[in-house]
Structure 1
Amino acid sequence: MDLTTPRRHGPTSIRLVRARDARVLQQELLSNRSWLRPWEATNPDGAVSFDMRVGIRRLLQQYRDGAGVPFVMEYDGEVAGQLNVWGIARGSLASATIGYWVSERFAGRGITPASVALATDVCFTELRIHRMEICIRPENQASLRVVEKLGFRYEGLRRRYIHINGDWRDHYAFALVREDVPEGVLQRWVSGRAPLDAATVPPADRLHA
């Protein structure tokens, strides 16, 4: 399995992050502060470092340990953001979670749904993950559209789940299992077969989030 080889859909591709990506990723993060801050994980015990050299070393160590897969998202060969598969559990659980960010200048080009589909297909077919989860803040309409497009199934409200932008925030949980997408997430999406209402949040959960 070679995750350094890009997986592509049109102009969008994902590949394993490299140490030499640190400079461009740090530049994108710093130049997108107002765009990304509302959705970024924070540390309740102190500041989060923006030293991407350290961050990439940590992510690649997690990859070597089998705990995560750190991807770079590219558009026409230009770095557009990051997508991390994290919390990989093996054995009877065989699950993982996806998180991502994309630069504001690349927003609206379909990069995120294509990247999430590509990464989920890699996890299902090559890493033998059984269940993929995405947790999204109720206010994050752009990310909610991603799971709607791809047909991720709504699975519930997680109260004060992740520390985001300085406080513990509620999240909606969405998931797919391998049996949901025998043809693959990407193929199901591009062929128009993703269920339109799978990601619908019940009114009761919308009221309480």
Structure 2
Amino acid sequence: MGIRVIRLSDAPVLEQLLRENRDWLQPWEATHPSGAGAVPGSVSMRPTIKAMRRQLRSGSGAPFVITIGGAVVGQLSVSEISGGALRSAQLGYWVARSAAGRGATPTACALAIDYLFGELGMHRVEICIRPENAPSLRVVEKLGLRYEGRRAAYIHIDGAWRDHDCFAITVEEAEQGMLSRLGASLDAGARPPVQ
């Protein structure tokens, strides 16, 4: 299991995963309040991947794919990377139903958090989750993230403004590293060299 920086060549497999997992992912996907926007997987991911890679180059985001045995099974995005006195970032992710429960998501999050703390010098990372999303709540539980509270009507998800529970961790709370805390096994070359 692991993560690597997203590539343009990942577009077809991500599109296929999004199409095949519509019923699994739709309840948790961000939507535009106006109702505009394409159904994920119904249009090319190439423009989105290009935009994500621009964020990577500018330092405002870091887009990864989640892998098991080298095969892409989902995506993890680091957003809202802030420097200065804040030094914070947010994680968002999704995986195919076939990857759920196999440790891929907690491992991917642990790798990303270790990268953010160790390589980018972040101080705090947060993950916001809908309270009804039991599989994602299990991810933050496995990682030992601290519950910070509920954000009412925080993100437009699946056609409505939805509450989210916020979980966070600081570098001081993860002294030994998130991956060692999780005790995860990795695919060879799974640590995320950002290119």
User: TM-score w.r.t. structure 2 length?
Assistant: 0.90
Cα deviations across residues 151-171 of structure 1 (Å, max 9, x unaligned)? 000001100000000000000
Match for residue 95 of structure 2 among 97, 102, 115: 102
Match for residue 68 of structure 2 among 75, 82, 86: 75
How far the C-alpha of 1:46 sits from its partner, in A, is: 3.4
How far the C-alpha of 1:45 sits from its partner, in A, is: 2.4
- The 5 A counterparts of 1:36-55 are 36-49=25-38, 50=40, 51-55=44-48
How far the C-alpha of 1:83 sits from its partner, in A, is: 0.3
Structure 2 residue 82 is matched with structure 1 residue 93: no
Contact 2:76–2:94 under 8 Å retained in 1? yes
* Structure 2 residue aligned with 1:198: none
Structure 2 residue 108 is matched with structure 1 residue 115: yes
Match for residue 164 of structure 1 among 157, 169, 176: 157
Q: Equivalents in 2 of 1:53, 1:73: separation in Å?
A: 17
Match for residue 178 of structure 2 among 167, 181, 185: 185
Q: Equivalents in 2 of 1:45, 1:117: separation in Å?
A: 35
Higher relative contact order (CA 8 A, sep 6+): 2
Q: Equivalents in 1 of 2:183, 2:7: separation in Å?
A: 29
Structure 2 residue 12 is matched with structure 1 residue 23: yes
How far the C-alpha of 1:190 sits from its partner, in A, is: 1.7
How far the C-alpha of 1:48 sits from its partner, in A, is: 2.7
Contact 2:61–2:80 under 8 Å retained in 1? yes
- The 5 A counterparts of 1:141-160 are 141-160=134-153
- The number of equivalent residue pairs is 180
- Give the 3-state SS of the residue equivalent to 1:24 in structure 2: helix
The one-letter amino acid of 2:18's match is L
User: TM-score w.r.t. structure 1 length?
Assistant: 0.84
* Structure 2 residue aligned with 1:58: 51
Contact 2:148–2:166 under 8 Å retained in 1? yes
* Structure 2 residue aligned with 1:9: none
Give unmatched runs, 5+ long, in structure 1.
Answer: 1-11, 192-209
Structure 2 residue 7 is matched with structure 1 residue 14: no
Q: Equivalents in 2 of 1:171, 1:108: separation in Å?
A: 22
Give unmatched runs, 5+ long, in structure 2.
Answer: 185-195
Contact 2:147–2:167 under 8 Å retained in 1? yes
Q: Equivalents in 2 of 1:148, 1:156: separation in Å?
A: 15
How far the C-alpha of 1:56 sits from its partner, in A, is: 0.2
Q: Equivalents in 1 of 2:36, 2:109: separation in Å?
A: 28
Structure 2 residue 126 is matched with structure 1 residue 139: no
Structure 2 residue 120 is matched with structure 1 residue 127: yes
The one-letter amino acid of 1:181's match is A
How far the C-alpha of 1:109 sits from its partner, in A, is: 0.5
